[in-house]
Chain A
Amino acid sequence: MALELIKDKWTNNINEVMLGADKPIKVGGENTLPFLFQEGDMPNRPVVAMEVWDMEPPDWPAHLKAALGDAVKSPVEWAKKAISEFGADLIVLRLQSANPETGNASADKVAETLKSVLAAIDVPLIVIGCGDDQKDNDIMPKCCQAAKGKNCLFGLATEDNYKTLTVSCMADGHSIIAESPIDINIAKQVNILITDMGFDAKRIVMHPTTASLGYGMEYVYSIMERARLAALNGDKMLAMPFILFVGQEVWRVKEAKEEEPGWGDVAKRGHLWEMTTAINMLQAGADILVMRHPQAFKDTKKAIERLMKK
């Protein structure tokens, strides 16, 4: 007797979020677990964003910087190269220079950089603060304003710090990233807090926190899977697309960064580590992947093409 696969039927779908203005793209919208085309549809393929910093990253490993070349010295050149050479679907601009420990650049200064990047690209832009709550609340209102009309995605809103960013995004027509510390209860809570301020739930993208291969990736996977199952069963406060900062996590671990006898060529190991993490996150339900190494980037995009074949 032929084996008959059990198919699940879901009542709801993940929200579809439109990003960008010149060449807008849609993310989310799926009504099935990832790539189960027998059960449902993924109207929008997962997309890959390249992470660009507004300053040369001080502690990235040499083999990662070498793969990116001189472009890392200029955010505009870096973003342009990411699109023309590596085929980035979106750009992530991290405003690291504003962090009090890495330059403490002013709100005006980072808003200028943001404008020049926006002027140089036509793909949607994701903007991430410097990681210092107080400073981010100082720079983000100006940055949101500077990007008005460009329908960007701004982050990161957390349970303890979401009001300033929510108000700014609402005022200037941007979408928002809601972050939680690998905790499904807090993920839902942040979404509720943001929507309680009058923000449209359909303009939220969730960051469930990312973990690298070998560093708790499975836990992130299980949280994402549980959120997806709840969302597909009708929980509107978990029905947001996922963004995963794969590069940021992978390029912190020694397996990607360091020479080690018996571990093989680090230059190759690094991008393979990033790609492997990325592909696992796709299977967990990632809608936007944020990555750093051009080779990992290209390989992941190829994998998406293969996974999307019905």
Chain B
Amino acid sequence: MLIIGELINGMYQNVAKAIKEQDKAIIQKLAKDQTEAGANMLDVNTGPASATPVETMKWLVETIQEAVDTPLAIDSTKADVIEIGLKTAKSRALINSTSADDEKLDRLLGLAKQYNAQIIGLTMDKKGVPRDRATRSELALKIVSKCMESGVNLEDLYIDPIVLPVNVAQNQGIEVLEAIREFQLLCDPPPKTVVGLSNVSQGTQQRPLINRIFMVMAIANGLSGAILDPLDKDLVDAAVTAELILNKHIYCDSFLTAYRK
């Protein structure tokens, strides 16, 4: 499974401080720690604080690349911030993300094509996040067909059904889980799927437990990637074990170590 480490995000205080003071060590430690813990990609988000997000994204990508070779997910709502990230990234990057709006799709699929990048498509549009699985599938299908039209390889597309916090939108858990299953009927080969996992437990008092259980359920439904905190060892162990049960890895007594090799 694709594990995208979420910790390099300007929304976190330590990262915001590092960006402000141009302190490379903090960013590089986060990059190394997440990679060693099992992340096979690192999310990079400048956060809301930066007044100059384009410069900040460039600095973050360069700083991370001095420390690790892990591929990057360039995370922004602004296309020009994504473009500088793609331009600066040494290895093949993932665009995080586009919505299902035409304007956004055209612009970001264009960038995906231009920079040979992978892309996450969120099943939301100007009307907001859908409340049911059917609308999620409808938007996913729109993203899939736009991908095909613009010549972006379907193998490079991740659909994100958008996870909502269980404490404010409790009925959405099942909708997201079922949507992940339904997405697999959209095309052949099916699109990959990804979730921003931590959102499910936002504001709750049992965050690690909720994250872990939801992720395992999603993996059982066919989830292929997640943006999460890889330093939560129990969480990564649960992902590896879930995939083991699904016969995606060959068992050995040290299967948890094997995954991190």
Contact = CB atoms under 8 A, between A and B. Distances in A.
Interface of A: 184-189, 192-193, 195-196, 201, 226-227, 230, 235-238
A226 B250 CA distance: 9
Nearest to A237: B258
B257 A192 contact: yes
Most buried by B among A184, A188, A193, A238: A188
Query: What are the nearest 9 A-B pairs in CB distance?
Result: A188-B252, A189-B252, A192-B254, A185-B252, A237-B258, A185-B251, A230-B250, A189-B253, A192-B258
A238 B254 CA distance: 13
A192 B252 contact: yes
Nearest to A231: B250
Query: B interface, by DSSP: helix, strand, loop or mixed?
Result: loop
B261 A188 contact: no
A187 B251 CA distance: 10
Interface of B: 249-254, 257-258, 261
17 contacts: A185-B251, A185-B252, A185-B253, A187-B252, A188-B252, A189-B252, A189-B254, A192-B261, A195-B261, A196-B254, A227-B250, A230-B250, A235-B249, A236-B261, A237-B252, A237-B258, A237-B261
A197 to B, nearest CB: 12
A281 to B, nearest CB: 21
Contacts of A192: 252, 254, 257-258, 261
A235 B250 contact: yes
Most buried by B among A187, A189, A236: A189
Contacts of A184: 250
Contacts of A235: 249-250, 258
A209 B257 CA distance: 24
Contacts of B249: 230, 235
A227 to B, nearest CB: 8
Nearest to B250: A230
B254 to A, nearest CB: 5
